[in-house]
Amino acid sequence: MAEIISGKIVSAAKREEIKTRVARLNEQGKSVGLAVIIVGNNSASRVYVNNKKKACEEVGINSFEYALPEETTQAELLDLIAQLNNDPDVNGILCQLPLPSHIDEQAVINAIDPSKDVDAFHPFNVGHIMIGDYTFLPCTPAGIMEMLKFYNISVKGKKCVVIGRSNIVGKPMAMLLLKENGTVEICHSRTENLKEETLSADILVAAVGKAYFVTADMVKEGAVVIDVGMNRNAEGKLCGDVDYDEVEKKASFITPVPGGVGPMTITMLLENTVRAVEL
């Protein structure tokens, strides 16, 4: 029976620490400000943005929201980003993805000042992650590393398998595990004998975006299983990429969905925003 890695518990502890750091900066006459841009009416994006605003209030970070209509042009969005890059009250800029199809996401990411890029998506910050000398880390992988640390799960020398190769989770996740001296493998939709690969993992990270993709017969006895997925099952209930009920019987540690990785993602966004001021 696996021990549950609770993102709620780790997140609450981390937010208390962030709140203290924000208060210390305020005492020094420095405010901390996060600008969040949302374009269009994506309902999932609206939920995320509201949660980010609430989290900022909780720790004392000033939150500036820019809700733009769906028909906003790329030029208008880039103009706004340029203004925010030059605004001394804004320490972090986040543009909620996905953007409407007529806007080039990479051009928008590239326009954000790397020192305010609290999502850590800018090529400058991605490059620093590759060489292990970084200021900001992408929020989800950083949150996962924070959870492993909190539960005293060592990565050193462990076989780590990441399923998924996205720029947001899979690739940076592999880099962070590698930095902590894990032996890392990335699997994806073209991987042959996937089950064979996952069965060798001491630490298995599932970031596929498919409900119940990882089944118990894919998991080694005693493995640590991290579920990054956020899906809806046939009944419309939130579920992860891992068949939790079955895998939990084999794993030593496992993250639930919801209440696992999710709470950490926003907390690490707050961490990056505070770091932007401290640095």
Are residues 78 and 182 part of one domain?
no
User: How many domains in the chain?
Assistant: 2
Q: Establish if 270 belongs to a structural domain.
A: no
Are residues 147 and 103 part of one domain?
no
Q: Establish if 10 belongs to a structural domain.
A: no
141 cis-preceded (ω within 30 degrees of 0): no
The dihedral over CA atoms of 22, 24, 25, 29, expressed in degrees to the nearest 10, equals 130
Name the helix (H) or strand (E) containing 256.
none
Are residues 157 and 234 part of one domain?
yes
Please write the tens of the pLDDT for every residue from 258-270: 999 999 999 999 9
The pLDDT value recorded for residue 248 is: 98
Tell me the average pLDDT across 107-125.
Answer: 97
Tokens of 133: 């000398």
CA-angle at 175, arms to 116 and 220, nearest 5°? 135
Residues classed as catalytic: 52, 96, 119
Are residues 51 and 161 part of one domain?
no
Domain boundary (114, 148, 166) is at 114
Q: Are 88 and 33 in contact (CB under 8 A)?
A: no
Tell me the average pLDDT across 187-203.
Answer: 97
The dihedral over CA atoms of 131, 129, 15, 109, expressed in degrees to the nearest 10, equals 150
CATH of the domain at 144: 3.40.50.720
Are residues 152 and 45 part of one domain?
no
The pLDDT value recorded for residue 42 is: 87
Are residues 155 and 237 part of one domain?
yes
Residue 43 reports pLDDT greater than 90: no
Please, which pLDDT band fits residue 87 given cuts at 50, 70 and 90? very high
Range of the domain at 72: 28-114
CATH of the domain at 51: 3.40.50.10860
CA-angle at 169, arms to 164 and 73, nearest 5°? 110
Q: Establish if 124 belongs to a structural domain.
A: no
Q: Establish if 72 belongs to a structural domain.
A: yes
Cβ-Cβ contacts under 8 Å for 251 (sequence gap 6 or more): 2, 219, 222, 223, 224, 225
Domain boundary (98, 114, 130) is at 114
Q: Establish if 211 belongs to a structural domain.
A: yes
Please, which pLDDT band fits residue 44 given cuts at 50, 70 and 90? confident
Distance of alpha carbon 88 from alpha carbon 179, whole angstroms: 33
Q: Establish if 7 belongs to a structural domain.
A: no
Please write the tens of the pLDDT for every residue from 212-263: 999 999 999 999 999 999 999 999 999 999 999 999 999 999 999 999 999 9
Tell me the average pLDDT across 39-63.
Answer: 93
Are residues 100 and 41 part of one domain?
yes
Distance of alpha carbon 141 from alpha carbon 211, whole angstroms: 20
Please write the tens of the pLDDT for every residue from 142-175: 999 999 999 999 999 999 999 999 999 999 999 9
Are residues 154 and 102 part of one domain?
no
Helix (H, G, I), strand (E, B) or coil at 75: helix
Are residues 161 and 107 part of one domain?
no
Distance of alpha carbon 236 from alpha carbon 190, whole angstroms: 29
Are residues 179 and 110 part of one domain?
no
Residue 279 reports pLDDT greater than 90: no
Distance of alpha carbon 211 from alpha carbon 228, whole angstroms: 11
